[in-house]
Structure 1
């Protein structure tokens, strides 16, 4: 108990460290990002394309296109270059690239206070390993899935809070697309893949997104079968994180309560536990085959 209290105090002291705080949101930057989204949408509509058609031809997910148009996500320079050509805007979209990148920097997302320390460390991670028992890991969620999750929260969030939380979650996912990417692995309980959060179509989109994520460089995905009756992960989900230039740590979260474990011996034991979990889960090929099978059943 004393050790747990000491670790809780350590996490709280980290949260109070000014250097650990993420920058405050900048309303002007947010307004500019939303304005660019409206411009993107207008250009798409003038080109006579639906969101799905534009997504297919740009080689992006329709959720991404919708998020850019609503100002929840910032279009990458590559996306704007491709869209400018596809929509025939003659450089109108590419002209905002430099300013949009500056706005992205200013409009760093604001996570809940209790999550900020972890989010800051995750953004600098060279290794991320997560075992998930209830929902798809945040770094692998689609926008629709994340929105459905926040939508069932009790007591309920306001629409504005849900929009902010969803945007924050999508922003975190950029780390898997960095180069070089972090070494990332995810072990997900099979029951999570069978729970149709948000309904059938949201569920289908989420399963497809897992298959896309499994193809990312540096990312490994495994499924723990429900018929695996005994394994060391039965005590609950956790994340192993290694920030660049720092020692590995463990993050545990449940019902809005979080804990960062930095004690070297406890981290070692959790890392060993994760290794055992991976050894008992389906391998990569078996895992993707199971996801494809579940998709075929929808």
Structure 2
């Protein structure tokens, strides 16, 4: 596969725009790298359309280039090629969601993962991902996390299985930092994190993980991802069923307060 094959049209357009703005103002790649906190090689990949720019990179680059809003206007159209089938459409809807609710039974939700945890998850993929793919997927996931602090605010709800928190993904140090991050994020007024206790014999989420979204048009959507890709649906019957199921899952899980205490307890046991 050539480098050209790995680049989407939107990523190339973004990179060309970034380079044009930079060169037009006589700013070097080294200066952009230093100001954004990226390495020069990472910055080159963004300009070449081989890497998706994070929200933090875009904001800092605009500040340096004196072009507020220009890169941000293009960023929502960045394609997420080479990521799971069906994911791109979901990611676009996620970025503009008014509310989001997710039940996860295998790993910590991507919106809540630390960078080290992300790399551990992507590093465990089989067949193994190329290094540039791990970088691209990690950057995309980090960029998505801007939803947590976005204005206008997005209301976020997560239910995680207890055993997800007890698996030392990436090692004990990585998981310890991940658990601390969950407690910290859970203190935000727009975020609720709940844990489904492992002691329960059964509960309403045994059919597997899924995510619910409400978009600015007040349309309700549902997304489920499996081994061979994901499916985003607005089918009223399916979405209604999952909303009922998620309501029951939240009712059966620990309260956010008790969940935070359990997360802290698990961290102390590492």
Shorter-chain TM-score: what band?
0.7 to 0.9
Aligned ranges 1:29-178 → 2 under 5 Å? 35=30, 38-40=33-35, 73-75=54-56, 96=64, 98-99=66-67, 102-106=70-74, 109-111=78-80, 112=83, 114-178=86-150
Out of 277, 281, 284, the position equivalent to 2:253 is 281
| Partner Cα separation in structure 2 for residue 152 and residue 185 of structure 1 | 27
Please state how far the C-alpha of 1:248 moved relative to its aligned partner: 0.5
Structure 2, unaligned stretches of length 5 or more?
A: 1-7, 23-27, 44-52
Q: Which has the higher helix share?
A: 1
Partner of 2:224: 252
The 1:97–1:203 alpha-carbon spacing in structure 2 relative to 1, beyond 3 Å, is farther
Q: CA RMSD in A?
A: 3.0
Count of matched residue pairs:
242
Of 233, 236, 246, which aligns to 2:205? Answer: 233
State whether residues 181 and 217 of structure 1, in contact with CA within 8 Å, keep that contact through their aligned partners in structure 2: no
Question: TM-score scaled to structure 1, two decimals?
Answer: 0.72
Residues 1:27 and 2:26 are matched in the alignment: no
Gaps of 5+ in 1: 1-20, 42-64, 81-92
CA distance in 1, matches of 2:222, 2:172: 34
TM, length-normalised to structure 2 = 0.79
After TM superposition, where is structure 1 displaced by more than 6 Å over at least 4 residues in a row?
A: 30-34, 65-69
Specify which of 180, 192, 209 is matched with residue 152 of structure 2. Answer: 180
Aligned to 1:266: 238
User: Hey, what does 2:176 align to over in structure 1?
Assistant: 204
